[in-house]
């Protein structure tokens, strides 16, 4: 029967159409841009690699390094490199080259802010042919996970990834497969990443067959895009929607107010009505799939009565609102929302309606993303809706919610909690699993009692790919990370599987 179906798809004597060996990716510029994110980030994902990589539960796994170990009272990390790795320009990855590339990466201020352990690195030295040592001024257990930082040779930007960049201009980025890739040669010969002004134009071009992959498909369009020609792969991101408060200013300097607002939100309703079911409720800044996370602890429940009681106790009782005439209100604040992000505006509207039900007036102001970032840096905001990376390790929460007086990361929201600061330091310095579990549990409790933000939902992303490619089945994983293993299939094969 299978033979009959196959022969029916091909005329007698006709040649089987060749499988596709090039891939065109459509990227929406409205989903984010700039030199460090967006389209360039996709290109780096395909062309660069780090010494380590992170598992879904936040543990560091080997990548360009085979293993590593602590020495000198945890003030030195010795890394053993994987043999037979080459950069795109033919240079072999040995101790000298790795030390040089690591030294460049460590010296970049942006990297030191995003990867907190790099702040404490005082020296990177080759040690033997395939060993590198990193000396620290003080212990940092985050270093193995931070070594996921992408490595490139400073001379020409060459990486060790499965694809190498061969073109970069306003029309997009072009990559070719790297024949010397240490994991094996990719089946796809070339990748072209093309920018589109909007999400809609990107995925409509996919439906017309003009591109092979759309990097972002809106939740409401997933069912529409998926058909006999297109498959949709969804995965949970390590990002969450949240409203960060300026905790240095009243009323958000009060932990009671922040806790009350968290109790006022029905997260399941938000996920169902706005995210079309593609999300998970959030109860804090720590990744719920982190290996040391305690899922038995309580989370923020939907309890509007508790929210109103907490606000009453904090002195925010219902009173006539000067902004809304006879309307009675407890408090009013303005929340910045990035312009031209439809999903963010819908999230803001949902939260606005839910807070209205307990007498809190949230006015949201749509501003360009660049202006939003500038106002956050300058402290000129009351609240801001953002899509923040928060996993898969506590190192992500560390850079945003540590004390700004102690650590100069991305902690621009004024949050100060002495116990959180102590626990963050325990997590940073401890390589003992039992101590990490205990500290993670206690940090979860701190964030429930004194939440630094209004935590909403961990979100998902959907990639839509034409069925001309066989994608490895790894549920929950971004298919971009396995692109080198994709197998092009012929039109005849594609028809026979539909």
For the chain, which residues make up each domain, given as ranges? 17-45+161-229+467-496, 50-146, 238-459
Superfamily (CATH H level) for 17-45+161-229+467-496: Periplasmic binding protein-like II (3.40.190.10)
* For range 356-367, the mean pLDDT: 95
Distance CA 447, CA 442 (A): 9
Distance CA 411, CA 422 (A): 16
Residue 493's pLDDT band, with cuts at 50, 70 and 90, is low
Residue 411's pLDDT band, with cuts at 50, 70 and 90, is confident
pLDDT in tens, 238-264: 999 999 999 999 999 999 999 999 999
Structure confidence at residue 36 (pLDDT): 40
Residue 320's pLDDT band, with cuts at 50, 70 and 90, is confident
CATH of domain 50-146: 3.90.76.10
pLDDT in tens, 267-301: 999 999 999 898 999 999 999 999 999 999 999 99
pLDDT in tens, 54-106: 999 999 999 999 999 999 999 999 999 999 999 999 999 999 999 999 999 99
Position 1 pLDDT exceeds 50: no
Provide the 10 A C-beta neighbour count for residue 246: 21
Under a CB-based contact definition with an 8 Å cutoff, are residues 417 and 313 in contact?
no
Angle between helices 433-449 and 418-429 (to 10 degrees): 160
Element (H, E) at 333: strand 331-338
Position 5 pLDDT exceeds 60: no
Residue 118's pLDDT band, with cuts at 50, 70 and 90, is very high
Structure confidence at residue 164 (pLDDT): 96
Residue 496's pLDDT band, with cuts at 50, 70 and 90, is very low
Position 336 pLDDT exceeds 90: yes
pLDDT in tens, 161-183: 999 999 999 889 999 999 999 99
Element (H, E) at 52: strand 52-54
Position 402 pLDDT exceeds 60: yes
Provide the 10 A C-beta neighbour count for residue 292: 22
In the structure, how many helices (H) and strands (E) does the chain have?
16, 21
Position 340 pLDDT exceeds 90: no
Structure confidence at residue 439 (pLDDT): 97
Position 332 pLDDT exceeds 50: yes
* For range 405-420, the mean pLDDT: 87
Under a CB-based contact definition with an 8 Å cutoff, are residues 399 and 410 in contact?
yes
Distance CA 172, CA 251 (A): 46
- Cis bond upstream, residue 251 (ω within 30): yes
Under a CB-based contact definition with an 8 Å cutoff, are residues 141 and 431 in contact?
yes
Position 186 pLDDT exceeds 60: yes
Structure confidence at residue 217 (pLDDT): 80
Percent of the chain beyond pLDDT 90?
Answer: 72
| Max avg pLDDT among 322-331, 445-454, 481-490 | 445-454
Lowest-pLDDT range, 3-12, 72-81, 370-379? 3-12
pLDDT in tens, 10-44: 444 445 555 668 999 999 865 544 334 578 889 99
* For range 126-153, the mean pLDDT: 96
Structure confidence at residue 31 (pLDDT): 52
Mean pLDDT (the chain, rounded): 89
Burial of 36 (0-12, 13-18, 19+ CB in 10 A): exposed
Tokens, residue 460: 């998902």
Position 377 pLDDT exceeds 80: yes
CATH 3.40.190.150 is held by the domain 238-459: no
Q: Identify the DSSP state of 20.
A: P
Residue 495's pLDDT band, with cuts at 50, 70 and 90, is very low
Structure confidence at residue 224 (pLDDT): 75
Structure confidence at residue 88 (pLDDT): 96
Position 2 pLDDT exceeds 70: no
């Amino acid at each position: 029967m299978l033979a009959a179906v196959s022969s029916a798809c091909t005329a007698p004597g006709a040649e089987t159409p060749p499988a596709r060996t090039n891939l065109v990716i459509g990227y929406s510029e409205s989903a984010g841009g700039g030199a460090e994110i967006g389209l360039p980030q996709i290109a780096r994902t395909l062309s660069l690699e780090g010494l380590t990589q992170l598992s879904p539960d936040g543990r560091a796994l080997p990548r360009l390094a085979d293993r590593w170990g602590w020495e000198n009272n945890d003030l030195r990390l010795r890394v053993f490199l994987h043999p037979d790795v080459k950069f795109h320009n033919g240079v072999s990855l040995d101790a000298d080259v790795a030390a040089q590339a690591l030294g460049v990466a460590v010296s970049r201020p942006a990297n030191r802010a995003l990867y907190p352990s790099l702040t404490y690195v005082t020296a990177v030295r080759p040690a033997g042919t395939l060993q590198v040592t990193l000396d620290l001024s003080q212990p940092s257990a985050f270093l193995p996970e931070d070594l996921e930082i992408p490595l490139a040779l400073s001379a020409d930007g060459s990486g060790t990834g499965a694809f190498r960049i061969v073109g970069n201009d306003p029309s997009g980025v072009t990559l070719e497969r790297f024949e010397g890739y240490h994991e094996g040669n990719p089946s796809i010969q070339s990748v072209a990443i093309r920018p589109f002004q909007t999400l809609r134009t990107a995925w409509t071009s996919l439906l017309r067959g003009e591109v092979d992959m759309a990097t972002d498909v809106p939740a409401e369009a997933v069912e529409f895009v998926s058909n006999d020609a297109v498959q949709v792969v969804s995965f949970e991101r390590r990002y969450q929607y949240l409203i960060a408060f300026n905790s240095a200013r009243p009323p958000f300097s009060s932990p009671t107010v922040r806790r009350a607002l968290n109790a006022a939100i029905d997260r399941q309703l938000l996920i169902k009505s706005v995210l079309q079911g593609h999300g998970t409720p959030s109860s804090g800044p720590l990744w719920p799939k982190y290996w040391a996370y305690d899922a038995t602890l309580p989370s923020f429940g939907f309890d509007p009565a508790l929210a109103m009681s907490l606000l009453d106790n904090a002195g925010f009782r219902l009173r006539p609102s000067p902004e809304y005439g006879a309307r009675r209100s407890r408090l009013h604040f303005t929340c910045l929302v990035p312009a031209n992000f439809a999903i963010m505006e819908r999230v803001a509207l949902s939260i606005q309606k839910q807070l209205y039900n307990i007498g809190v007036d949230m006015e949201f102001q749509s501003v360009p993303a660049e202006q939003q970032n500038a106002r956050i840096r300058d402290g000129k905001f009351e609240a801001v809706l953002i899509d923040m990376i928060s996993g898969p390790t506590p190192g992500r929460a560390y850079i945003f919610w540590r004390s700004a007086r102690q650590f100069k990361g991305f902690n621009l929201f004024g949050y100060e909690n002495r116990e959180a600061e102590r626990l963050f330091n325990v997590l940073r310095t401890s390589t003992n699993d039992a101590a990490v579990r205990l500290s993670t549990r206690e940090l979860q409790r701190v964030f429930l009692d004194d939440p630094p933000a209004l935590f909403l939902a961990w979100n998902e992303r959907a990639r839509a790919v034409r069925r001309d490619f066989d994608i490895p089945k790894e549920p929950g994983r971004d298919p971009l990370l396995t692109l080198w293993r994709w197998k092009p299939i012929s039109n005849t094969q594609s028809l026979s599987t539909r």
